[in-house]
Every structure is written in C-alpha cells, then in structure tokens.
Chain A
Amino acid sequence: MKILATYNIKGGVGKTAAAVNLAHRAASEGHRVLVWDLDPQGAATFYFRVKPKVKGGGEALVQGRRELDRAIKGTDFDNLDLVPADFSYRNLDLLLDEAKKPLGRLGKLLAPLRGDYDYVFLDCPPSISLASEAVFRASDALIVPVVPTTLSARTFDQLEAFVADNPDVVKKLRILGFFSMVDARKRLHREQVEDLRSKWPELLSTQVPSATDVERMGVHRGPVAAFAPSSRSAKAFAALWTEITARL
C-alpha cells in the first residue's frame, strides 16, 4: 500500500482536484484506492457526494476510539472508497498534539488497511503544521501542485526547505511536484513554467491545464473522467498518474 498526499502550503492550487482525479484514475486501472479527506472544508467528500461526517469526529479516530475502517464509505466508483471529511478536522493539530507520538499517528491508523488498498490518497488542508508533519511521516510521496506563479513557486521552495531541514520528520518521503492550473494563453504562466523547470528539473513533466472541466467537478459532483472522459483535463490526470506510478 502506497500512501500519497496531495499537499501544498498554499490553498487553491488544485490539491483536491488532483487527489480526486488521480484516485479515480488509479481505481479505474483496477487498483484498490482509498481517499482520506483531511481537509475540514470537505471538497473531496462533496465531489464524491458523501456526507461530511465521521461518527465521533477526528477525536475518535485520533484517540483510537474508532477504527478508520469503520469510517470508510464506498463511492459510486468501483475500487474507490473514501474516509469523509469532518468539520472537527479543523482541530486536527490540537487532537494530534494531545495524542502519544503524534507524528506516527496517521500511519498507525492506516496500518490495518495495508492489505485492503493499493493506494491511499490523503487530501490535505493548506498549511504547515503538526498535522502536515504527521502526513509527511505517514506518506510515501507528496504530490504537490504548483501553479506557475511567483507565490506558488515560493511555497514549493518553503516545502523543499522544510524537507531538507527535517529529515527526522520526513524519513522516506518523496516530493513529486507538477504544474497545476496552467493557462498556456498567459505569457506569465509560460515564462514561469520555463524558469521553474530549469530550477527544479525533477518536476513531473505533465501539466494539468486550467480548465472549466475541473471547475465543473462541483456541478457534476464527480471526477472529470466520469463526466468528460475525453477532456484535456481527464487526459492530463491520466498522464500524470502514469508518471507518478513510474516514479514510485
């Protein structure tokens, strides 16, 4: 079981779209996939039409009073399950802080599911906090959407610096960045992509375009490939998944 977290310190960069679409792609290839919506806003949960509620909330999960297994909901797609968001996740930092060995907590919760899933996607809220560090510890890789803008690029710098400075936290973690919400019509985006690629040659080559298909996920309440299988976005996420699996 590989644990992949879609993560960026910055919000609005396409983390949830990446988690939902990559998970759907992996499941459609026959892999057994679980998405854990850790963002209290619950966008991934909304996309999968599941009620954003976990019995006992994040507290019951973190304290081990409720097994993660019992919080899982099947989605409308084969091989694709979800642990829904819960508004109490807004206090995840506090809950983890009160737990023993907080950094290893998420990994411990996921460990019993090892035989049930091939991939787990953690859809993370934007921040860098104790919860993020717990995600870093649990994950095999961070999938980091980078919008080709100065601010977004800066947060990628911050993340790389954090990873370099905290080897005890990240341990086995791999960083897989990709350009997200790319608008090829904008000169700024084109220039930034070029500059940042020369700065970070290890970035994945697939770019996910800024497209209305992704925005329409909220209307259709599902992954792009479920309602627009031939769209540029669906193809981009498929290509991105192929590239990610090759790197893992």
Chain B
Amino acid sequence: MSELQRFEVVADGDPEALLAAVAERAGLVAVASVAARRVFLDTPDGRLGATGTTLEIRTPVRGRKASTLLWTSVVSGDSLAAVELTVGADPPRFASDLPDASGSRRLADLIEMRALVAQAEVMSRLTTLVLLDGEGKTTVRVLLDHSTPLGRAPLPSVVELLPVRGYGREATALGELLAAQVTLRPLPLPLVDLARQALGSPAYLSSKLRLALDRNADAETAWRTVLVTLNATMTDNLEGTRTDADSEFLHDFRVAVRRTRSVLQEGVDVLAPDARDRWRGEFKWLGDITTPTRDADVHLLDLPALMATLPPERAADLSPLRDLLIDRQRRSHEQLVADLASDRYASLVEQWPDFLEGPWVETGPEANERGNLVAAQRLAKAWKRVVRDGRRIDEGSLAEALHDLRKDAKRLRYLLECFGSLLDPQQVAMAVKALKGLQDCLGEFQDTEVQAVALAGFADALLARGDVAAATLLAMGGVVEHLDDRGRTARHRFAERFATFDHPDIRRVFRRLIDIPEDTDG
C-alpha cells in the first residue's frame, strides 16, 4: 500500500496562493474546506505517536458543533477510527471512556491503563482537494493544513498527499510533481509534533531505563549516573503520582524507587557505608508509603480480568467489591499525598540531588575501580544466587522459597537493566529475555496468591460492613478458585521455566557477561 507523503510550505508569501497555483498545475479539485479546533491527545508516554498514529478531537468552528474523535495513521493517512462524541460530554480520558465504535477496541488495547492527555491544541483551516480520473473517481486526496497553536505563531502550512488504495501510480506521479516544487519541502513529522515543538511541550515519558554508561568510567561515576537517571524518572512521575493522573505514574515512580534501592544495595563497595545506609532507609520509607496505593491500583486494574472469569450474569455481583476497592484506593492515595507533603519527603527530595551532585568525600573501597568490573562482580553474585536457590526448589518446596527466588531474580534484572550498558549489549539482551521468562512465572505465582489473600481480606471487610449480598461473596469465591488454578499452573510451570533459564546456553551468556578481562575495555 502507498504511504502518505507530507510536505511543508517553505516559501515566503501567501501559502494559499502558492498552493492554488500548484493545485491548478496538478489538476486538483477542491472539494471541502473546514475551520476546526483540534485537540491532539496521547498518553503521557506517547504510545499513540510511537505506533505511528494520532488521536484528535476535532470540532468545527461553524455550523453543527458536534466533535469527532479521529484516530489516524500518520504513515498511510488511513482513518483507524472516527466517531462522533456526545455534545457536551467530557473528552475520553481512559480506555473505558472511549465510545463504543469500530477501532475503539484496538485503541483501548494500545492505551491500556494510561490516561489520554491533551498534547496540543490548534485552530486549523483544512482544505481537501482531490485528483479525479475519467470516471470522476477520486484517485488521490490532498489535504492542506493551515494550523495555529493556541497563543503561538502559525505553523508552516502542511500539504499531505493521501493515497487511495489501488491508485498508487497516480499518487506517485502527483508526489513527484509536488516534490519538484521549490515551495515545498518533505516533512518527516506529523502536525501534532510540529505543534508540540511550537508549544514547547515536554518530551514523552518513558518507563524504559535508557542508559549509555561509559565503559571506562570508574564505579563511582557509573553508580552516580544511574542514580541521577533514576532520580529524574522519579521527578518526572511525581506530579502525575500526586494528582493520580493515571496509575502508571505511581508504577513508574515506584520502579525508579526500587531500582534506586537496588543500586544502593549493590553499591556496598562503592558508596560510603553511612551514606548508603541512610539513603537505603529513606528510599525504603518512600517505597513503603507508596505500597498501599499501588496495591489498590493493582486490585482495580485486575478487576475487569477477574470479572471476566465469571459467567457474565454473575460479574455484576462483584460491584460491591469494586466500590470497596475504589474507596480504598481513594483513601490510600489521600494518605500518599499527605506523605509526599511531609517534611521527611521534602528533605529527601532536597538532599538526595545534593548528595548525587556533590563530591563523595568518603566512598567504598571499589569506588575507583572500573565500573564494568564492579558491575560484573555484582552480577556474578546475583546470578549465582538465583541459580543456587532455583536448583534447590522442587515439587515439595514451600511457596516462600519461590517468593524469595522472585526477589533474587528481580535484583538480577535490575542489575542488568541499570548496568547493562557497561557490558556486552547483545549478551545483556539474551540474559534479560531468559530471566523474563522465569520472572513471569514467579510473578504469576506470587500475584495470584497475594490477590487471593487480599480477596479474603476484602470479603471480611464487606462482611463487617453488614450489607454484603451472598451473591457477592459467592462471586468472590469463584474468583479465588480461578486464582488458585492460575497459581497452581504457574507452580507446575516453574521447573520448566527454571530449566530454560539454567540451560547451558544461558549459563554461557552470563559467563560472558561476568568474565571481563581486567586489561580490556570489557
């Protein structure tokens, strides 16, 4: 299928007149022109843009003011969803708010738990021109887009050539004609990115840790760099955590906290003992104050999937549970907001960057060693521990043994993620992939057990309230049964998953990662 071609008008003068001349030369016919207010939406981590799509709410300036939600491919120009929104209704914020229409499901799958946030607002004049064949059939569409972000200068006028399926030759010919115009220059970005640039919008957040550490740097520098990066992630996600914009802000905030704790733990020979102990204590506290809200978020996020395990006619019986979870989430988030406003947190966020940026007068004995050697040592220790403890687990082992192994595996994962760029990236990717399979199994085993225990607690809470229907308790019992099944399946799969992780090929991968000759760059 042909791809959309996008140009910007670069010449001085009236872009309308310039384009009218081009249109006349190309034989284009104007068929529609509309002035509209457009609000572009995306998730805070830019998921829609990352998949080559834009989502906008378009409201005509004149005439009928009904807004339309448009989801469009920026690659092909194809409409992926177009649905009229109810007049006066709030714009969709979460996947569950999307109107029931074709394409909504795919959009919802992409958004997942993230909120849709306005990225840019522009006023646009959109003119559509078409190229017709002898049958009067449209073979190519051309969209002229004159947009102005609110409170800013107009953006460059944009010309989009939208191919019609099956008429690639016509699109190619018109594209060549347009590309030959000195007034037009190919534009690699969609309009939303131009508008975001003009508005000075911040970069999209990323939950992926992107680190490129210097392999020749000493351990102190490596540890510092990782901790600074993790602190930036916490800062980026703090406001969204406070306002509860969506559950992923707190999730990413917590992951950064956990990684920070792990890096401090692994820095036993890099940081001074006093400083390390102090900050480990502070970040443990920070992790602890976020746990109740995250637990409540997880229960709410998992609820639709758990409801789906029940027969449809019984799913509604879980409504009182849902209400209880919403109430708990609200209360735990209020407490979290209060904790984040505390003196202890204020001094943490003030003093931690000072510590990271200031000189480390006292350090651990290996602070001046090469960072990759120290990281490899820590990795060796963590990997050997996972292998040793995993091999001890058999059918008769207690659940605690699996839970402890899950923690060990997580520690190994954090080491790979935080210090992987000091090591061989190909081997790191293979190690992470192998470890992920094991972690998924251990995570499923842990999560199902924790959820089942939590549900028992929720049942007690509902009973204590005295207004719970028997149907609700029965439905919760059904869910617990389902969780038990899933937990059993995960337990049975453990041996196979661990054997895959402990395979000689994977062991070789880890050996290559940890055996760094001292006289090379690693």
Chain A contacts to B: CB under 8 angstroms: 29-32, 48-51, 71-74, 76, 78-79, 81, 118, 221
Contact = CB atoms under 8 A, between A and B. Distances in A.
Given A49-B137, A221-B136, A81 B102 contact: no
Q: Which 9 A-B pairs have the closest CB atoms?
A: A73-B166, A74-B165, A49-B137, A74-B164, A31-B102, A30-B102, A49-B135, A30-B101, A76-B138
B79 A79 contact: yes
A78 B82 contact: yes
Contacts of B83: 30
A202 B102 CA distance: 28
A73 B167 contact: yes
A34 to B, nearest CB: 10
Contacts of A31: 102
B103 interface: yes
7 contacts: A29-B102, A50-B135, A73-B164, A73-B166, A74-B167, A76-B137, A81-B165
Contacts of A79: 79, 82, 102
A74 B131 CA distance: 13
Contact of B102 (A32, A51, A74): A32
B135 A29 contact: no
Interface in B33-82: 79, 81-82
A49 B137 CA distance: 5
Given A32-B102, A49-B135, A78 B79 contact: yes
A241 to B, nearest CB: 13
A221 B136 CA distance: 9
B82 A51 contact: no
B353 to A, nearest CB: 49
A124 to B, nearest CB: 22
A48 B167 CA distance: 14
Given A29-B101, A30-B82, A31-B102, A51 B135 contact: yes
Contact of A30 (B103, B136, B138, B165): B103
Given A30-B101, A118-B102, 16 more contacts: A30-B82, A30-B83, A31-B102, A32-B103, A49-B135, A49-B136, A50-B137, A72-B165, A73-B164, A73-B165, A74-B164, A74-B166, A76-B137, A78-B82, A79-B79, A81-B166
Contacts of A30: 81-83, 101-103
B136 to A, nearest CB: 5
Interface string B95-128: 0000001110000000000000000000000000
- Name which of B79, B83, B103, B137 has the most chain A CB atoms within 10 A of its CB: B137
Main secondary structure of the interface of B (DSSP, over half): loop
Contacts of A81: 165-166
A79 B102 CA distance: 11
Contacts of B102: 29-32, 79, 118
A229 to B, nearest CB: 13
Interface of B: 79, 81-83, 101-103, 135-138, 164-167
Nearest to B138: A76
Contacts of B164: 73-74
Contacts of A221: 135-136
A76 B29 CA distance: 14
B2 to A, nearest CB: 10
Contacts of B138: 76
Contacts of A32: 102-103
Among A30, A72, A78: residue with most chain B CB under 10 A: A30
Contacts of A74: 164-167
Contacts of B137: 48-50, 76
Nearest to B101: A30
A118 B106 CA distance: 12
Nearest to B103: A30
A72 B166 contact: yes
Contacts of A51: 135
A71 B79 CA distance: 20
Contacts of A72: 165-166
A19 B157 CA distance: 40
A13 B82 CA distance: 33
A180 to B, nearest CB: 26
Contacts of B167: 73-74
Contacts of B82: 30, 78-79
A88 B158 CA distance: 44
B380 to A, nearest CB: 46
A221 B81 CA distance: 26
A192 B265 CA distance: 85
Contacts of A78: 79, 82
Contacts of A76: 137-138
Contacts of A50: 135, 137
A226 to B, nearest CB: 12
A203 B32 CA distance: 41
A162 B165 CA distance: 38
Contacts of A73: 164-167
A13 B269 CA distance: 86
A31 B82 CA distance: 9
Contacts of B135: 49-51, 221
Contacts of A29: 101-102
B34 to A, nearest CB: 15
A247 B103 CA distance: 21
A74 B102 CA distance: 18
A78 B165 CA distance: 11
Nearest to A71: B166
Most buried by B among A73, A81, A118: A73
B66 to A, nearest CB: 14
A47 to B, nearest CB: 11
Select the residue from A48, A79, A118, A221 with max chain B CB neighbours within 10 A. Answer: A79
B257 to A, nearest CB: 40
A31 B80 CA distance: 9
Nearest to A69: B1
A48 B165 CA distance: 13
A17 to B, nearest CB: 19
Contacts of B79: 78-79
Contacts of B101: 29-30
A73 B135 CA distance: 14
B183 to A, nearest CB: 28
A48 B83 CA distance: 23
Nearest to B81: A30
Q: Which residue, B81, B83, B101, B165, has most C-beta atoms of chain A within 10 A?
A: B165
A48 B137 CA distance: 8
A196 B346 CA distance: 80
A51 B101 CA distance: 32
Nearest to A222: B136
Nearest to A77: B138
Nearest to B135: A49
A79 B167 CA distance: 16
Most chain B CB atoms below 10 A, which of A51, A71, A74, A221: A74
